[in-house]
Structure 1
Amino acid sequence: MRFGFIGSYGSPAQQVELARACEEHGWDGFFTWDGVSLDDAGFGAHPTWDPFSLLAAAAAVTERITLGAMVFAVPRRRPWELAQQVLTVDHLSGGRLVLPVGVGVPIDRAFTSVPGQPTSLRDRARALDEVLDWLELSWSGEVFSHDGEWTRTGDFQLPQPPVRGRVPVWPVGVWDAARPPRRSLDRALRWDGIVPQVRGDSPEDAEPGPDDVRALTAWIAAHRDAPAGPFDVVHQGRLPADPVAARDQAREVADAGATWWLESWWDPTTTTPERLLDRVRQGPPAL
């Protein structure tokens, strides 16, 4: 299992320093996040930054670590602009970009205050699928067009493909062992990984436990085509300060089938850029 760190808060300079520290202190990935104007008294008090600009800067000061965002709000983005941003960071980083993707948080005014944006969960899910389809077509290097419900374009061509031919896509997928939501899970099976969530009212409540991860990975093994390539299961959580306890907690999730642990601190009342940097400098546990 690999270990990544989410830069939840901080100025652009602090985010870039956090990415540099991730590489220096043994982490395998740095992730920012994607929001514009959050209608929330806590989260909305913190500034937001363009994730691709931050990742481009992080790519310039690192050489090894994976880069991404938790998660890219794909339905509110124009696909041709998204494709160019993805391609730029992918090439700048030498092919180290990954794309965790989702429908976007419903409290972002970039959805609710902009006419014509998909706002219902169903519409955002459809838009997500169409933009991802457009993105994949753009990686072919061939001329293509697209005629969907939310994404309709004439001829386009991006003649330069990604460094590795494609950029890994990790959709958010909701897991419910009693009633697996097939549309959400089938979307993940089409791509390269999954960011699993359970039903909850906060980011912490939505984090699956080891038993959830174990049941999910068993379901994926039973439903995913055998010839398909590697598939990542991306777990978010918070490791304790004690290195032995952190190792044991991470090992439990790894044994359940997770391939990534992302250190994830979101409480706006207690999380500061300084605390994030201190935690990064402690490094990930050794399994």
Structure 2
Amino acid sequence: MRIGLIGSCGTPAQMVRLAREAEQHGWDGFFAWDAISLDDPEFDGVATWDPFAVLAGAAAVTERMTLGAMVFAPPRHRPWELAQRALTVDHLSGGRLVLPVGVGVPSDRAFTSAHGQPTALRDRAGLLDEVLAWLERSWSGETFRFEGEHLSTGDFRLPQPPVRGRIPVWPVAVWDAERPPLKSLRRALRWDGVVPQLRATDAEPGPDDVAALVAWMAGRRSRDAGPFDVVIQGRLSDDRGRAREQLAAAQEAGATWWVESWWPPEPVTPELLLDKARRALPSR
């Protein structure tokens, strides 16, 4: 199982430094985040930055780390601009970019009708599917047109494909063992991984939740399907023994990624994140 870290606060320069030092200390991934103006008192005063610009900087100072964001919000992006920015970071990093994706943070003021953005969750979910389909078409290098319910474009062609032919997509999917929400789960099944969230709770999925989700998805994926990542977020204990237990339980449940998720407000600071990045990983 691989271990990543979210650069949840700090200046762009501090985030790039965080990525560099995390790689030097054995971390497997660095993730930015994608929001513009949060109507959330906990994030009052927390600056938001262009995730692709941050990741471009991280790509320039790292060599092996996976790069992404937790998570990108495609419904807020024009698909051709999103495709170009993702392709740029993909090539700058030598094919290390992944695209965890969701419908967008509900409290982001960028999702308002006044800004011409879809506000209803159903519309954002529909647009998410169409933007992802547009991205996949663009990776072919061929000229294409797109006609959807939410998105229509004329002829487009991006002649340069991603380094590895495609960029892995990890959709967020809501999990409820009693009533699996099929739409988000089926979306994840069509792509390369899943970032699970529990229904109607801020709690992170535990090992039992992950195991149930993995079993549900395994029964519905074709045997010849390619690699599939299960990406969970959490906080490792400062006690190394307990941290090893957390990672072992997550891996046994079927997770392929653990992403350290420390978010503002206090006491989360750029200095705290850098201190965590410099610590020896409990699984190494």
**TM-score normalised per structure 1:** 0.97
Could you list the runs of 5+ residues in structure 2 that have no partner in the other structure?
Answer: none
Extract structure 1 runs of 4+ deviating beyond 4 A.
none
1:256 corresponds to which of 253, 258, 280 = 253
* Secondary structure of the corresponding residue to residue 173 of structure 2: strand
What residue in structure 1 maps to residue 15 of structure 2?
15
In 1, Cα distance between the equivalents of 2:38 and 2:113? 11
Alpha carbon RMSD of aligned pairs, Å?
1.0
1:148 is matched with 148
CA, structure 1 residues 239+64, in 2 after alignment: closer, same or farther (shift >3 Å)?
same
Query: Mapping of 1:152-171 within 5 angstroms?
Result: 152-171=152-171
- Contact 1:106 1:112 (C-alpha < 8 Å) held by counterparts: no
Where in structure 1 are there 5+ consecutive unaligned residues?
none
Q: 1:113 to 1:8 in 2, by over 3 A?
A: farther
Question: In structure 2, which of residues 246, 270, 275 is the aligned counterpart of residue 273 of structure 1?
Answer: 270
Give secondary structure in 2 for the equivalent of 1:271: coil
Determine the structure 2 residue equivalent to 1:242: 239
TM-fit CA distance, 1:150: 1.6
Q: 1:197 & 1:104 partners in 2: Cα distance?
A: 14
C-alpha displacement at 1:113, in angstroms?
6.0
Whether the 8 Å CA contact 1:27–1:283 is kept in 2: the answer is: no
Matching residue of 1:85: 85
Mapped partners of 1:165, 1:139: distance in 2: 7
- Is the 1:8–1:32 contact (alpha carbons within 8 Å) kept by the matching residues of 2? yes
Within-5 A mapping of 1:126-275: 126-202=126-202, 205=203, 207-275=204-272
Do the aligned partners of 2:9 and 2:264 also contact (CA within 8 Å) in 1?
no
Q: In 2, are the aligned partners of 1:32 and 1:69 still within 8 Å (CA)?
A: yes
Identity of aligned residues (%): 69
Distance in 1 (CA, whole Å) between partners of 2:251 and 2:217 is: 16
Question: Residues of 1 paired with 2:243 and 2:113: CA distance?
Answer: 42
The one-letter code sitting in structure 2 at the alignment partner of 1:116 is G
User: What does residue 33 of structure 1 align with?
Assistant: 33
**Matched residues in 2 for 1:283 and 1:75: separation?**
38
The 8 Å contact of residues 233 and 260 in structure 2, kept in 1 or not, is answered as yes
For 1:47 and 1:193, the matched residues in 2 are separated by 29
Counterpart code for 2:166: R
Structure 1 residue 5 displacement after superposition: 0.4
TM-score by length of 2: 0.98
